[in-house]
Amino acid sequence: MAKYTPLAVLLLCAWSVHASDKIPISAVPAHVRAAIQYYAPGAQLTEARVTQDSTYHRIYDCTYFRNIHLGSIKLSSRGQLLDVDETLVIEDVPPAVRRRIVSETKGGLIKKIKLDALYGHEVYRVKSYYDKSTKIEISLVIARNGRVVE
């Protein structure tokens, strides 16, 4: 039995390192929580994972629930936005983005609004029909301040 002890300790250590990827929500640092609230106001964290990276050192990959939507967000240990993914409705977007969507689509039917990250900034990707036509489909990328990026 003594000859298997080092192997058992090695396996236990390897398992505990792999199991430490998922962390309790209370272990997420305050500045990472603040960044989540900035990018997804009203979000309630449901799951958090930590991974190591050579560029950002620690990356927090969190799943959250906001209104009736489930989303995920990936942040560096300093709170820098790396990735975000959430499908929204027009009522969930900031007022400046909502005004821009309505003005650019001329009140057309909105197919999809997705919260996404572009170069470290949050953007809203919109697929919509132009005006009352279902033949003209437009695609917009709008920044948080309402500026059209693409």
Q: What is the pLDDT of residues 117-142, one digit of tens each?
A: 988 889 999 999 887 777 888 999 99
CB distance 137 to 129 below 8 Å:
yes
The answer to the question of residue 107 being in a domain is yes
Sequence-distant (6+) residues with CB within 8 A of 95 are none
Domain hosting 73: range is 2-143
Burial class (CB in 10 A: 0-12, 13-18, 19+), 96: middle
Determine the pLDDT at residue 63.
Answer: 93
Based on the structure, what is the number of domains in the chain? 1
The torsion angles phi and psi of 111, rounded to 5 degrees, stand at: -85, -45
The answer to the question of residue 98 being in a domain is yes
Determine the pLDDT at residue 14.
Answer: 45
Residue 76, CA atoms < 13 Å, CB-side half-sphere: 10
The answer to the question of residue 149 being in a domain is no
The answer to the question of residue 27 being in a domain is yes
pTM summary value:
0.74
Could you read off the pLDDT tens digit of each residue along the chain, which spans 150 residues? 556 555 444 444 444 444 448 888 888 899 999 999 988 888 899 999 999 988 878 899 999 998 888 999 999 888 889 999 988 888 888 899 999 988 888 888 888 999 999 888 899 999 998 877 778 889 999 999 999 998
The answer to the question of residue 148 being in a domain is no
CATH number of the domain that residue 132 is part of:
3.40.1420
